[in-house]
Structure 1
Amino acid sequence: MCNKAWRWGLRGLLCLLGGSSWAGLMAESTRVVFAGGSAEQSLQLINLNRYPVLVQAWVDDGRLDSGPDTLGAEAAVMPMPPIFRLNPDGQISLRLIATGTPLPVDRESLFWLNLYEIPPARMDLPAAARTLTVTLRTQMKVLMRPAGLRAALEDLPRWLRFAVTREPGGAQLRIDNPSPYFASFRALELRCAGLPALALAADMAPPLAALSLPLPASFHCEDGAATARFLLLDDDGQPLAGETRVGER
């Protein structure tokens, strides 16, 4: 699947740089970052479908049961326009405006941009024909990053700490993130001498918090002998590699 180019037209830009895609609706980047208290950001979108689409946009806390009115006045970001039509190959610069909602100043805050894509109804079918209209909703991250954070994003892999904890329900891998950034994982695996690498599905470790992942009962490694290798994603969706020894708790 092609993903993110600019001068030669948005279609070529998006395919080269690896942006996000929603069926035929495609964006120039994988996330939006409000850095240093910026008041507005823009996101270029293009409709790669062969038909026009109606798009509704809103920002919320990421719950699947949320809608455009879920957060109301508490929404930290407002997309403009909130509803728009895009013809085939049509482009739009979606404005994302910070509303000034109070947020923590010592860490990032995470919200989600929703793009609800509605295709047109078929008008060339017999009156008695049965049809099914498929609407698509996709979410992408919106990160609110305050100014003056005590670490650089490129140093994030060195901040993370990994440890195996013994719980009543079984062993878990605990990932402590003492940094002010969300750690978004692209890949994570544990390695131990004499054992095949164990790939784990990890999403995000929140800032100044921890993420716990269950370990299979078949994974046995001597204390301090395991190594975690991982890839995080930076603001451009590019990987940040890290490797560290796994401790025991």
Structure 2
Amino acid sequence: MLKKSLYVPFFFTLCVFSKFAVSAFMLDGTRFIFEEGNKNISVVVNNKSQQTYGGQVWVENLLLPNSEIAFVPVPSFFKIDKEQNQLIRLLKVTDDMPKDKESIFRLNIQEIPPINKSKPNAVVIAVNTQVKLIYRPKSLINKRENEEEKILLKTKGDQLSLINPTPYYFA
């Protein structure tokens, strides 16, 4: 564990060198909502780099058992040229989701960088972008207005807790 006197220099060093870490992929959203009744939703991946990249997409089930797959991305692997876009479709493959509350998943989009053969000692880092994917049942589609007002703030000693009694996820 770092001593408290080392926190500031360590944090400053991270900030200085973080400008060199750049992701090639940008998504067209920070969260995606899949409403019941839709056959699929689309996610657009933009390659902002000057190089061709590979990509991999998968969905993690945060609340369902590990053996159950709820969404399948198509394509799950792709190649994307410089400054081009790739359309990903997310298909729902199960009806085994709650009908009275939202379900949350994690959409992962991993970039696979090219290897520069002229620089054999260069470090190549594959960046994985994770965003929320929320499944919203039909019974909740038109009822979300002012639901955030129901969130409760509880204090217990010197700890604060937010309690969400609604069937919705908030970010």
Using the alignment, how far apart are the partners of 1:36 and 1:151 within structure 2? Answer: 12
Q: Deviations over 1:13-64 (max 9, x none)?
A: xxxxxxxxx81211111111111332210011110011111101000036xx
- 5 Å-filtered alignment, 1:91-130, equals 91-125=85-119, 129-130=120-121
Which structure would you say has the larger RCO, counting Cα contacts within 8 Å and 6 or more residues apart? 2
Matched residue SS, 1:148: helix
Using the alignment, how far apart are the partners of 2:140 and 2:47 within structure 1? Answer: 37
Percent identity of equivalent pairs: 28
1:181 is aligned to 2:158 = no
1:156 is aligned to 2:151 = no
Aligned-pair distance for 1:71?
Answer: 4.1
Q: Deviations over 1:84-110 (max 9, x none)?
A: 010101111110000114011110000
| TM-score, normalising length: structure 2 | 0.79
Matched residue SS, 2:117: coil
Give the letter for the 1:41 counterpart. I
Using the alignment, how far apart are the partners of 1:44 and 1:101 within structure 2? Answer: 25
Give the direction of change, closer, same or farther, for the CA distance of 1:71–1:148 in structure 2 (3 Å limit).
Answer: same
Q: Which residue of 2 aligns with 1:50?
A: 50
Do the aligned partners of 1:151 and 1:179 also contact (CA within 8 Å) in 2? Answer: no
Give the letter for the 2:35 counterpart. A
RMSD: 2.2
Runs of 4+ in 1 over 3 A off after TM superposition: none
Query: How many corresponding residue pairs?
Result: 149
Give the direction of change, closer, same or farther, for the CA distance of 1:157–1:104 in structure 2 (3 Å limit).
Answer: same
More helix by share: 2
Q: Which residue of 2 aligns with 1:34?
A: 34
Using the alignment, how far apart are the partners of 1:71 and 1:139 within structure 2? Answer: 18
Structure 2 gap ranges (5+):
1-21
Deviates more, 1:22-31 or 1:132-141: 22-31
Aligned-pair distance for 1:111?
Answer: 0.3
Aligned-pair distance for 1:124?
Answer: 2.5
| TM-score, normalising length: structure 1 | 0.55
Q: Deviations over 1:97-147 (max 9, x none)?
A: 00114011110000011011111011224xxx4232111111011100001
Do the aligned partners of 1:165 and 1:173 also contact (CA within 8 Å) in 2? Answer: yes
Matched residue SS, 1:94: strand
Do the aligned partners of 1:37 and 1:145 also contact (CA within 8 Å) in 2? Answer: no
Give the direction of change, closer, same or farther, for the CA distance of 1:107–1:138 in structure 2 (3 Å limit).
Answer: same
Do the aligned partners of 2:61 and 2:70 also contact (CA within 8 Å) in 1? Answer: no
Choose which of 134, 139, 157 in structure 2 pairs with 1:143. Answer: 134
Give the letter for the 2:140 counterpart. L
Larger Rg: 1
Give the direction of change, closer, same or farther, for the CA distance of 1:151–1:97 in structure 2 (3 Å limit).
Answer: closer
More strand by share: 1
